Amino acid sequence: MAPLAELMGMKHEGHAQGGAVLALCLLSCLFLAPVVHASPTLTAEDGTVYLSCVEDDDCLLSPTPVGEELVTDSVFASPAQPETVSIEFDMLPAQTDLALLPTTLTRMEIDLRFTGDVTGAAKPSLDIALILGQTVTEWEFDAQPLPDQTQNEPFVLTDEALNLNGQRLLWPEDPVRLRLTFVLDRPGTWELHMRGNSFLELDIDWSEDVDARNTDEPSSELEPRSTDFETTHEGALVENDRDCWSFEVSQHEVLSVLVRWEAVPIEVEQVHPVPDLFQPNGREAPGPEVIVSEDDEFTRMTYRWRALPLGEYTLCLGGVAEKFQPYTWTGQLSYEGLGPLDPSGFSGASYYPVGAAALGEESGAVTLQSQGYGFLLFSIGVLLVFGIDSLRHSTSANLRWGVFTPGVLLLLLGGVFHPLWAGADEVQLENEFTLDELVDMRLQQLWDVSYPGVPEQVLISQTGATWGMLGGEQLNVRLVVEEARPMDDGRWQLVVPELESLRLDNAIFGQVARGGVQTTDEGLLEEQTVRFILLAGRSLLLDLLMLEGLLVVDEKPTSPIFHLQFDMVDAPATGSVSVPAWGTRPASISENDWVLLQSSLFPDQISVTLCDCDLDLLDVRFIPSDGFDSTDVPQGFALRNASGLVPAATPLAVLGMMMLGVSSRIEYTRRKKARQLAEQVFQSANPWA
């Protein structure tokens, strides 16, 4: 095997490369195609690539282990004159799909070995650079001797963060390159083992073949594609493309264009502007009525124009740079009538579907009452009465200290101190949210991140955070519970009446009004506002659904007030690739329990529909999961019930009253007998009286 210091792909610093080597590299590329028959592109189906060398001077990243089993070379280095070896592996051919890169490297193994002529086996210092598109992530390993010369473990990286700087999109033809650089300061032989021994794994979240989806190209505003209006058209907006079609419009009352966008990650999603519809006279048609419906798979947008003239029209869809999204659109000519997408089909109110995560039995429900002050006032009155009575001198110290004083203490503890403490514990703390305040805070957060120009990674982390709380933040909520319902496992589920009366549409449109929403010249909502409404409808519903599912306590509550204090940590998100959900979790819930809860509680389908018409309307609907049960709710979840000082406070206070009554009765009897005895003595001492 030829020394690699003379070859192109693996070079020692200071060695020249000749033209013959370049020619040899080009020839080897020609032989590469039949060897690597699969396209080595990073996709959601396969994100594993192997370090391979088809020839000693031609190394690459391939989807299957091919080529030589190892490459090796001998060096004559010393601490005074170290040798630096650099090896580059390019994915060839280059990336062909548009892919969404993960934030972490799943696993990388580099089986690099070095055996010194005198010192034996050792691990050299190794620098690894992974180039993905325009980003570079580097790792460093220090040199170390091996105590056992048979111990040749590879360099291993697992779940390492990638330095993407928010650039998670890997576009076709973007470079994917791995560079290995190691320094040798002693004579010996190094070996890089391949054929499956050296590889890297990336769990690609989403990928798409852009060319395969862009079927309606080429078209432009100057040369629109001629078509029949009422047929289905499939295509994709790739970056700032402008897809245009021309068609004839015949007699009609309502012209509708239905566009269905496939769900894609937020990082790559197009902005969905209102299509440009040019009339036969060349002028743009007035603003349409817009109805938007979104679920986990599609965003459906219906645009409706009325009373347009007949003739040839041009419809254009425009995209923005660094975005991609497949779509399907079709046209419809119809007459006025009430259809399923007509504004009159909306209910006019969109309440949170309370009970979607209900697990308790209504038949055994216990109504919870707030701490009252009637018993407190009664206890204070009793204390005053017996306190005045106690001012009279008692001839029995045992009675005073054995019965009266314990009774006073029990009455104070159970009838005075306990209700005072319980009442104070029911008061909202300074750093606590009510449910309404939590909803307003969440909507304000979504409004802020839905502005154009906000980085997609920020948008994802904020919208995907549970209750809007990021990892490292603390959520404090005070809830008023109406009743507790027994569950089949002995626990109790809490019912919050505020959820029953919560109107999602009022809350969301209220935030739109507070945000100072602007409209276009045609009276339509701005794109940012539409985006916010769709995000808020989905995110708010999922937040409340998770909250309702976690309102479970181990013991029967004694007060209607509960304090929720959660330290939030990052967690794997669930939901669609376009809008992830529940990406943070309370620290008191383990990651495994959280994943189980997510999978069982997440609805089978969520649909958010907005009618951007004369009276803006919102409809939020979902099909709940039928697999959610009590075993999915984590045990020992920390929900603190407002409580007093001691359990069974009322019986203690009553016992104290009884002891005071007994003490008073005994004292009364003693005084009565003493009075009678005194009268008898007085009468016997004065027989003539």
Mean pLDDT of 623-635: 87
Angle at which helix 435-449 crosses helix 456-464, to 10 degrees, equals 160
Q: Does domain 10-207 bear CATH number 3.30.70?
A: no
- For position 217, what pLDDT does the model report? 57
What is the DSSP track for 161-193? EP--TT--EE-TT--EEEEEEEEE-SSEEEEEE
* 3-state helix/strand/coil string of 260-299: EEECCCCCCCCCCCCCEEECCCCCECCCCEEEEEECCCEE
The CATH classification of domain 211-345, taken from the options 1.20.1740.10, 2.60.120.380, 3.40.50.720, 3.90.660.10: 2.60.120.380
- For position 522, what pLDDT does the model report? 56
Mean pLDDT of 491-506: 89
What is the DSSP track for 667-689? HHHHHHHHHHHHHHHHHHH-TT-
- For position 152, what pLDDT does the model report? 72
Two tokens at 126? 């190794």
- For position 137, what pLDDT does the model report? 95
* Contact present, 608 and 299 (Cβ < 8 Å): no
Q: Which of 171-180, 197-206, 287-296 bottoms out in mean pLDDT, i.e. has the lowest? A: 287-296
Q: At which residue do the structure tokens 């190892």 appear?
A: 70
On whether the pTM is more than 0.85, the answer is no
Give pLDDT tens digits for 560-595.
888 888 899 999 888 877 788 899 999 989 989 999
Report the range out of 64-73, 324-333, 385-394 with the highest average pLDDT: 324-333
Mean pLDDT of 224-253: 90
Mean pLDDT of 321-343: 75
Q: Which of 14-18, 272-276, 356-360, 445-449 bottoms out in mean pLDDT, i.e. has the lowest? A: 14-18
Give pLDDT tens digits for 434-449.
999 999 999 999 998 8
In eight-state DSSP terms, residue 239 is T
- For position 26, what pLDDT does the model report? 36
- For position 375, what pLDDT does the model report? 62
Tell me whether strands 48-55 and 483-486 are parallel, antiparallel or unpaired. unpaired
Give pLDDT tens digits for 117-163.
677 778 888 999 999 999 999 999 988 877 655 567 889 999 999 99
Q: Is the pLDDT of residue 525 over 80?
A: no
Number of Cβ within a 10 Å radius of residue 490: 10
- H or E stretch covering 362: none
- Mean pLDDT (the chain) is 80
Q: Where are the alpha helices (DSSP H) in 128-262?
A: 210-213
* Contact present, 447 and 511 (Cβ < 8 Å): yes
- For position 214, what pLDDT does the model report? 83
- For position 416, what pLDDT does the model report? 66
Q: Name the percent of the chain lying above pLDDT 70.
A: 77
Report the range out of 242-246, 348-352, 661-665 with the highest average pLDDT: 242-246
Q: State the burial class of residue 97 (Cβ atoms within 10 Å of its Cβ: 0-12, 13-18, 19+).
A: buried
Identify which has the larger pLDDT, 5 or 94.
94
* Contact present, 591 and 268 (Cβ < 8 Å): no
Q: Which residues, including other chains, have CB under 8 Å from residue 211's CB and lie 6 or more apart?
A: 172
- For position 158, what pLDDT does the model report? 93
How would residue 213 be classed by pLDDT, with cut points 50, 70 and 90? Answer: confident
- For position 411, what pLDDT does the model report? 65
Q: Is the pLDDT of residue 108 over 90?
A: yes
**Neighbouring-strand partners of residue 328:** 234, 260
Q: Alpha-carbon distance 585 to 587, whole Å? A: 6
Identify which has the larger pLDDT, 13 or 465.
465
Identify which has the larger pLDDT, 493 or 4.
493
Q: Which of 381-390, 464-473, 668-677 bottoms out in mean pLDDT, i.e. has the lowest? A: 381-390
